[in-house]
């Protein structure tokens, strides 16, 4: 992130705000406007990038076996190679205590064997972080992404493209030097055109309030309340609405600058109503415990355990996810980095009215990521992953090994 520079007092009776555009390869300064005031540099940083990527998947279609692949497509083949081209840009404008970030990315994916899956993807968004005086701050954020939907979640090997939109805002106020209040609001929409319901979508509106005590150095504790009001919409046999509330105790603790502990402990209750009169409740313990430790200047470890109630978009229902993760980051040289991560999630799926559907999955994901910065603008990134989902519904089980490499050009 670029640094704000305060312009020294200019000669004469007035000072003038100026605007500076900067990249690593190109820097210049120009007057944006000339109104006498406290002179402040406004800095714009542009980072264009592009990449070419290759992936090999042993089970691209995420099927339980060759028999399911043949039933879906008339072809017992499961593996395929994917070629991806990507181009994007990131822009950051910083002026005083205010900052605006905007980014956009386009991706083209082509498949060597299953060429009917060729498609385009994109994402874009922006964030405005602001500060008013010494005690009030906040941010406004918007994100949109268009991408391929999970084959396994939909139970089909046909191309289905999903569009997700998310808008959020957060307002924070320091009531006293030791007490802080944060209020947030959000809106999420997921459009998932299904073969039998092309208008299917999830809409979720949320709000939250957190009161925190920050009077101890490196330690905070508080209470968080969060509320969601959502509906699954489209040409459903029965429209389903839900209301979900969460109350949690929160705590963050920095230990000697080398470790950070983050805890969220509480409960969640969800109430669902269908327009055919069915209704139900789901409640239970939810929370998370995350710990980050910097072992040395080159090594970092992250671990987390969690339990949460979530919306299962493809199934128009709820699920309870319980799991954990362990990650390791290592930078042996300034130009080389290694990342490894394993995550395990047990999912208990609910049916109409939050009744137990009887389905449960165990989903494990292991990833390995290497990067080598050959030039300040050129990075080579080989990577690998293995996913394994075991379900008590046989057709929902699958495993997939993926090997790939990316050549990234990034100019900053």
In a domain, 20, yes or no: no
Predicted confidence band of residue 353 (pLDDT cuts 50, 70, 90): low
- Render pLDDT for 242-268 as a digit per residue (tens, 0 to 9): 999 999 999 999 987 789 999 999 999
- Indicate which CATH number applies to the domain containing 232: 2.40.160
Is pLDDT above 90 for 102? yes
Task: Name the more confident of 30 and 277.
Answer: 277
Q: Which long-range contacts (CB under 8 A, 24 or more apart) does 170-175 make?
A: 170/138, 170/139, 171/136, 171/138, 172/136, 172/137, 172/138, 173/135, 173/136, 174/134, 174/135, 174/136
Tell me which residue has tokens 């050549």: 407
Window from 25-29, 145-149, 311-315, 364-368 with minimum mean pLDDT: 25-29
Residue 185 parent element (H or E): strand 179-191
Asked, for residue 285, whether it belongs to a domain, the answer is: yes
Residue 338 reports pLDDT greater than 50? yes
The answer to whether position 27 is within a domain reads no
Task: Find the mean pLDDT for residues 168-187.
Answer: 97
The angle at the Cα of 259, spanning 255 to 263, to the nearest 5 degrees, equals 85
Q: Taking the CA atoms of 174, 178, 179 and 184 in sequence, report the sign of the dihedral they define.
A: positive
Average pLDDT on 62-73 reads 90
**Residue 239: pLDDT over 90:** no
pLDDT, tens only, 213-236: 999 888 999 999 999 999 988 766
Cα distance from N-terminal residue to C-terminal residue, the chain: 10
Q: Give the 3-state secondary structure of residue 338.
A: strand
Tell whether the model's pLDDT for residue 20 goes beyond 50: no
pLDDT at 159: 92
Residue 53 lies in a domain: yes
Asked if the structure places residue 1 within a domain, the reply is no
pLDDT at 252: 95
- The answer to whether residue 14 sits within a structural domain is no
Mean pLDDT score of the chain: 88
Find out whether 155 and 149 touch, Cβ atoms under 8 Å.
no
Strands (E), 36-118: 41-57, 80-95, 98-111
> Mean pLDDT lowest for which of 39-48, 199-208, 301-310?
39-48
Is 194 a domain residue?
yes
Q: Is residue 10 included in any domain, yes or no?
A: no
pLDDT score recorded for residue 376? 95
Q: Which residue has the higher pLDDT, 8 or 132?
A: 132
Overall number of domains in the chain: 1
**Alpha-helical regions (H) of 116-274:** 151-154
Q: Whole-angstrom Cα distance, residue 220 to residue 218?
A: 7
Per the structure block, which two tokens stand in for 78? 């499961």
Domain hosting 273: range is 46-410
Give the per-residue pLDDT at 287.
Answer: 97
Beta-carbon count within 10 A of 319 CB: 20
């Amino acid at each position: 992130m670029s640094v704000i520079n305060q312009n020294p007092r200019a000669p004469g009776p007035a000072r003038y705000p100026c605007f500076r555009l900067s990249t690593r390869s190109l820097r210049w300064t120009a007057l944006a406007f000339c109104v006498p005031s406290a002179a402040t540099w406004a800095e714009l940083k542009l980072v264009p990038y592009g990449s070419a990527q290759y992936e090999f998947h042993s089970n691209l279609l995420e099927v339980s076996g060759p028999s399911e692949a043949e039933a879906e497509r008339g072809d017992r083949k499961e593996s395929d190679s994917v070629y991806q081209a990507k181009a994007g840009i990131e822009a950051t404008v910083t002026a005083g205590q205010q900052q605006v970030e905007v980014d956009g990315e386009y991706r083209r994916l082509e498949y060597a064997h299953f060429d009917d899956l060729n498609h385009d993807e994109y994402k874009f968004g922006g964030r405005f972080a602001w500060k008013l005086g010494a005690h009030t701050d906040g941010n406004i954020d918007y994100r949109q992404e268009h991408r391929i939907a999970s084959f396994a979640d939909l139970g089909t090997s046909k191309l289905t493209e999903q569009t997700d939109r998310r808008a959020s805002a957060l307002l924070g106020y320091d009531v006293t030097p030791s007490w802080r209040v944060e209020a947030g609001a959000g809106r999420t929409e997921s459009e998932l055109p299904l073969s039998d319901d092309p208008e299917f979508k999830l809409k979720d509106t949320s709000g939250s309030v957190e009161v925190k005590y920050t009077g101890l150095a490196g330690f905070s504790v508080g209470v968080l309340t969060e509320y969601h009001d959502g509906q699954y919409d489209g040409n459903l046999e029965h429209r389903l609405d839900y209301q979900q509330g969460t109350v949690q105790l929160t705590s963050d603790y920095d230990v000697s600058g080398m470790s950070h502990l983050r805890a969220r402990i509480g409960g969640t209750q969800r109430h669902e109503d269908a327009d055919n009169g069915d209704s139900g409740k789901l409640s239970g313990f939810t929370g998370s415990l995350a710990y980050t430790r910097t072992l040395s200047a080159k090594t970092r470890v992250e671990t987390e355990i969690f339990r949460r109630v979530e919306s299962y978009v493809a199934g128009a229902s709820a699920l309870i996810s319980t799991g954990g993760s362990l990650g390791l980051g290592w930078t042996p040289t300034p130009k080389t980095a290694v990342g490894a991560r394993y995550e395990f999630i047990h999912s208990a799926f609910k049916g109409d009215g939050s009744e137990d559907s009887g389905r449960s999955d165990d989903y494990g994901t292991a990833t390995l990521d290497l990067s080598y910065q050959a030039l300040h603008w050129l990075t080579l990134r080989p990577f690998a992953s293995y996913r394994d989902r075991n379900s008590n519904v046989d057709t929902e089980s699958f495993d997939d090994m993926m090997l790939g490499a990316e050549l990234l050009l990034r100019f900053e």
